[in-house]
Amino acid sequence: MLPKIRCIPLVLLLLVGLIPLGAIGQEGASPPRQGKSREWNDAEKRAAREKEEAQKRAARQQQDAQRGADALRALARRFDLGPASVIADIGAGRGRDTWVFADIVGKEGKVYAEEIEEGKTKSLQAAAEQRGLVQVQAVLGDLGDPRLPADSVDMAFMHQVYHHLSQPREMLQGIWRALKTGGYLVVVDRRLGTLVDWAPVAERTRRHFWTAETTVVREAREQGFLFVACAEDIWHEKGVFVLVFQRPGGLAAPDRDPDPPSTLSEASARQLLPAPGQPCSRVAFVALGEGRKLIAPILEATSAAAVDIVLEEWATQKDERPPLPAGREIPSTLTVSGDPKLGPDPIDAVYFLDTYHLLFHGPQLLARLQERLVPRGRIYVLDRHAPKAVTRREASHRRMIAPETVTEEMANAGFDLYREESLPAADRFLLVFGRAGT
Ligand SMILES: C[S@@+](CC[C@H](N)C(=O)[O-])C[C@H]1O[C@@H](n2cnc3c(N)ncnc32)[C@H](O)[C@@H]1O
């Protein structure tokens, strides 16, 4: 009887639904069962979350790919490329951009998908065939030569490749030869400032290192390319530079700057000397190229001590220094974010000789010079005349600046225009500044 009586409350509880059927007869079964269902719920939620994230990721990737394709189409439109054009995708990787270029040039055009890894060229060729893109041809290049047919390409394109180049100058020469006269080179890479030391050659192809846009521009110029424009305005990615160069006419080989500033005679230095009676015992030079030629005659005429300020905007590596005039030993300092780390000694004159156009950290450098310049000190700015005001980066890459830009920037830094002269060289101007109010 007793078991029957003990069952009555149980039956009641079952009837009102307070005890789930499966729990009967399982001692201590309720808590673990609840735990299992929580686990099951958690797993289900996690799977749903992961699925949602994967969907979002896929949607983002698709959007990015679409934006990337739109940017390439805008680039092609800007430089007049379209059906029947010839494009070289240098360092094509898996061909993401190659397929877009193939669509832009159509079957009458040609896309060279160039790579240094043989496996990649094979996959690119196979993928092109699978997609029926007869206009795509994979090309196996080597570290210093893209191995493209000469005078055949309308645009060579490098996306996230330049910083890998272990022989950038040789590659630039190879690309220059492959381009038609007037053909474009577009370099897209990460923008990290003005001086990013090149990694040792052996490591560049294997690992990720970055390079400064100023280095790219300088190397391209020295290998015969003309800077055309910065084109970030049509680009989809943030934090990159998009530099466009051109193979100019009138150059037989890719071995020199196609747009050199005119030469400066030593006589030009006469216009850069302090007024008679003005003390001049220590001067600072920020001088490059032709401007550097004027260091020796200025020092001869003034007998001043000197410091050579090397701009990080110019250097391609931290230990790089432009040559000094023969027989001169001048201490040199490399700027860091515009700071030349000058010692405590006062400076009577600062000479920007063919360098002011290059300043990316102008306000910082001018502020440091303010601190050292004696009250009646002078800042000389000799530079190439730009016909109109351009952005700071374009001024740097074109190596010319509008005198109005210089005057405005100097005024912001606390220097008044004291004197303006025209130099014997037709492409230059010379402005002399003093502290405001002196
Ligand atoms: C970061 S991936 C970029 C791939 C592709 N351009 C993209 O944006 O998807 C760099 C590619 O450059 C290639 N590369 C490195 N050095 C090269 C060289 N000297 N010539 C051609 N390709 C090179 C590598 O094999 C790699 O596929």
User: Under CATH, to which class is 55-246 assigned?
Assistant: alpha beta
Predicted local distance difference test score (pLDDT) of residue 267? 83
- When mean pLDDT is compared across 83-97, 269-283, 310-324, the lowest value belongs to 269-283
Task: For residue 266, give the nearest of 227, 230, 299 by alpha carbon.
Answer: 299
The protein residue with its alpha carbon nearest to ligand 1, atom 19, reads 143
Task: For residue 379, give the nearest of 297, 438, 313, 315 by alpha carbon.
Answer: 438
How confident is the prediction for the chain on average, in pLDDT?
90
Q: The CATH number of 266-435 is which of 3.30.70.580, 3.40.50.280, 3.40.50.150, 3.40.630.30? A: 3.40.50.150
Task: For residue 220, give the nearest of 143, 162, 161 by alpha carbon.
Answer: 162
CA 89 – ligand 1 centroid, Å: 9
Percent of the chain with pLDDT over 90: 76
Q: In what order do the strands lie in the sheet with 110-115?
A: 136-140, 110-115, 86-90, 153-159, 179-190, 240-246, 226-230
The dihedrals phi and psi of 140, each to the nearest 5 degrees, come to -90, 110
Q: Convert 307-330 to b/e letters by CB count within 10 Å (16 or more is b).
A: bbbbbbbbbbeeeeeeebbeeeee
- Contact present, 345 and 282 (Cβ < 8 Å): yes
Q: List all residues 6 or more positions away from 365 whose beta carbon is below 8 Å from its beta carbon.
A: 286, 309, 335, 338, 339, 340, 359
Best of 75, 111, 116 for a ligand 1 pocket test (most atoms within 8 Å of beta carbon): 116
What's the mean pLDDT in 60-71? 94
The protein residue with its alpha carbon nearest to ligand 1, atom 9, reads 93
pLDDT score of 12 more than 50: no
Pairwise CA distance, residues 218 & 195, whole Å: 12
Task: For residue 380, give the nearest of 404, 406, 344, 341 by alpha carbon.
Answer: 406
The protein residue with its alpha carbon nearest to ligand 1, atom 14, reads 91
- Identical topology for domains 55-246 and 266-435: yes
The tally of CA atoms less than 13 A away on the side-chain side of residue 196 is 16
Atom of ligand 1 nearest to the CA of 94: 9
CA–CA–CA angle 329, 335, 340 (5° rounding): 75
Tokens of 6: 């003990």
The domain limits of the chain are 55-246, 266-435
Q: Is 143 in the pocket of ligand 1 (CB under 6 A)?
A: yes
Model confidence pLDDT, tens digit, residues 260-310: 999 998 888 888 998 888 889 999 999 999 999 999 999 999 999 999 999
Q: Is 171 in the pocket of ligand 1 (CB under 6 A)?
A: yes
Confidence band (pLDDT; 50, 70, 90) for 5?
very low
- When mean pLDDT is compared across 136-145, 204-213, 278-287, the lowest value belongs to 204-213
Q: Is 144 in the pocket of ligand 1 (CB under 6 A)?
A: no
The tally of CA atoms less than 13 A away on the side-chain side of residue 54 is 6
Residue 77: count other Cβ atoms within 10 Å of its Cβ.
12
Pairwise CA distance, residues 110 & 102, whole Å: 7
CA–CA–CA angle 88, 187, 224 (5° rounding): 85
- Contact present, 247 and 181 (Cβ < 8 Å): yes
Pairwise CA distance, residues 164 & 75, whole Å: 23
Radius of gyration of the chain (CA): 33
Task: For residue 349, give the nearest of 278, 420, 428 by alpha carbon.
Answer: 278
Atom of ligand 1 nearest to the CA of 171: 19
Atom of ligand 1 nearest to the CA of 208: 1
- What separation in angstroms does the CA of 134 have from each of 153, 185, 284? 17, 24, 60
CA 159 – ligand 1 centroid, Å: 8
Confidence band (pLDDT; 50, 70, 90) for 34?
low
With 0.95 as the threshold, say if the pTM is over it.
Answer: no
CA 189 – ligand 1 centroid, Å: 11
Predicted local distance difference test score (pLDDT) of residue 172? 98
Q: Is 160 in the pocket of ligand 1 (CB under 6 A)?
A: yes
Task: For residue 351, give the nearest of 282, 412, 405, 400 by alpha carbon.
Answer: 282
Model confidence pLDDT, tens digit, residues 187-204: 999 998 899 887 777 777
Q: Is 183 in the pocket of ligand 1 (CB under 6 A)?
A: no
Tokens of 427: 């492409």
The protein residue with its alpha carbon nearest to ligand 1, atom 12, reads 91
